[in-house]
Amino acid sequence: MTWGARIGCFALVGSALIAGEYPRELNAWPGKTPSLDGVISPGEWDDAVTFTNAGWVPQFSPTKDAKDLSLKGYVKHDGRRLYFAFDVTDDVLYGIDTPRWLPEENPKAHELSRAGFPWFGDEMELLINATNRWQGNENSAGNGTSWQMVCNLTKSRKGGVGVGGLLEGEPRSVESAWNTYQKWIESGAQEAVAKAKPGGHGYVIEWAVNFDPCLEAEPGKFYSVVMGDRKMGLNIALGDLDEKARGAGNFGHFHHEDWFAGEKDVRTNLRRFGTLWIRTGSRP
């Protein structure tokens, strides 16, 4: 989701910039190729770097209770694809524990078109600036240089409404971005599986991103391990839609939307991202 606003940013000494100006980073080290089945199997992600949503930036109501919403994340690569897994604890699953209510802002929120809200529901968003460049306060371009994609628990491009998975993200208003994202989903250049946990109270997402064509690190050149260690801009969103009343006063009645990096209202600006290091050596 994007709303324009301007606030202060983190200044860095001299002209050097980290991959985004927000001082938070993750390292993706080489590891075993996981199975994308929506299950964190024993040992499958033991070689990944782990992280949580502790201290993430709230766009809406701050998360105060880990039982309400919390995350354990994983990241690694296998030399060809970048992998994330998200193990989410969530006390109420929208469209599963609740009716599939719609927001006043868009009665077409579940339409799988550019008029819909792909992020409307319980969801994760992945944003990468592969070039580590920006000019001002622009958002993702919607191609291999920088992008914002969505994995929703209860709707997807391939499965339709009711089946979790990937959806075209922002800027969906730009036809070229929409077409690129849809091509990535349909071709398998990005894949994600989202499943509610047995017994409820959360869900798991496993997500794969092909280096080629999704990480265009230099003009016309996609990231390869022969490039060595490379830093890219990164942001991640954790969205939580509960009963409508719990999001009163927030856009779309969202309860929570917590971000890895950035500031309220400008967290989708490329310059507000944190840093993803893709590492090529052995993990220390």
Mean pLDDT of 125-129: 98
CATH of the domain at 111: 2.60.40.1190
Task: Give the pLDDT confidence of 270-283 residue by residue, as tens digits.
Answer: 999 999 999 999 99
Identify the band that residue 54 occupies on the pLDDT scale cut at 50, 70 and 90. very high
Separation in Å, CA 81 to CA 56, 94, 107, 170, 222:
26, 30, 37, 22, 12
**130 falls within a domain:** yes
DSSP collapsed to 3 states, the chain:
CCCCCCCCCCCCCCCCCCCCCCCCEEEECECCCCCCCCCCCCCCCCCCEEEECCCCEECCCCCCCCCCEEEEEEEEECCCEEEEEEEEEECCCCCCCCCCCCCCCCCCCCCCCCCCCCCCCCEEEEEEECCCCCCCCCCCCCECCEEEEEEECCEECCCEECCCEEECCCCCCCHHHHHHHHHHHHHCCEEEEEEECCCCCEEEEEEEEEHHHHCEEECCEECCHHHCCEEEEEEEEEEECCCHHHHCCCHHHCCEEEECCCCCCCCCCHHHCEEEEECCCCCC
Identify the band that residue 18 occupies on the pLDDT scale cut at 50, 70 and 90. low
**16 falls within a domain:** no
**99 falls within a domain:** yes
Q: Is the pLDDT reported for residue 8 higher than 60? A: no
Mean pLDDT of 176-180: 98
Mean pLDDT of 26-32: 98
**7 falls within a domain:** no
Q: Is the pLDDT reported for residue 69 higher than 50? A: yes
**241 falls within a domain:** yes
Cα distance between residue 148 and residue 127, in whole Å:
4
Mean pLDDT of 153-182: 98
- 275 near 26, Cβ under 8 Å? yes
**10 falls within a domain:** no
Task: Give the pLDDT confidence of 73-94 residue by residue, as tens digits.
Answer: 999 999 999 999 999 999 999 9
Cα distance between residue 196 and residue 200, in whole Å:
6
Q: Is the pLDDT reported for residue 5 higher than 50? A: no
Mean pLDDT of 161-183: 97
Cα distance between residue 219 and residue 79, in whole Å:
20
**115 falls within a domain:** yes
| Domain carrying residue 93 | 26-278
Task: Give the pLDDT confidence of 182-239 residue by residue, as tens digits.
Answer: 999 999 999 999 999 998 899 999 999 999 999 999 999 999 999 999 999 999 999 9
Separation in Å, CA 283 to CA 47, 277, 280:
9, 12, 9
Bridge partners, 209 (sequence order): 82, 190
Nearest CA among 46, 76, 30, 83 for reference residue 225: 30
Task: State the chain's mean pLDDT as an integer.
Answer: 93
Which pLDDT score, from 0 to 100, does residue 200 have? 84
Which pLDDT score, from 0 to 100, does residue 81 have? 98
Q: What is the pTM of this model?
A: 0.92
Mean pLDDT of 43-71: 97
Q: Is the pLDDT reported for residue 64 higher than 80? A: yes
Separation in Å, CA 1 to CA 55, 59, 107, 133:
20, 10, 16, 21
Task: Give the pLDDT confidence of 244-273 residue by residue, as tens digits.
Answer: 999 999 999 999 999 999 999 999 999 999
Cα distance between residue 24 and residue 8, in whole Å:
17
Identify the band that residue 63 occupies on the pLDDT scale cut at 50, 70 and 90. very high
Which pLDDT score, from 0 to 100, does residue 20 have? 84
- 94 near 122, Cβ under 8 Å? yes
**Strands 274-278 and 25-28: what pairing?**
parallel
Greatest pairwise CA separation for the chain in angstroms: 52
How many structural domains compose the chain? 1
Q: Is the pLDDT reported for residue 13 higher than 50? A: no
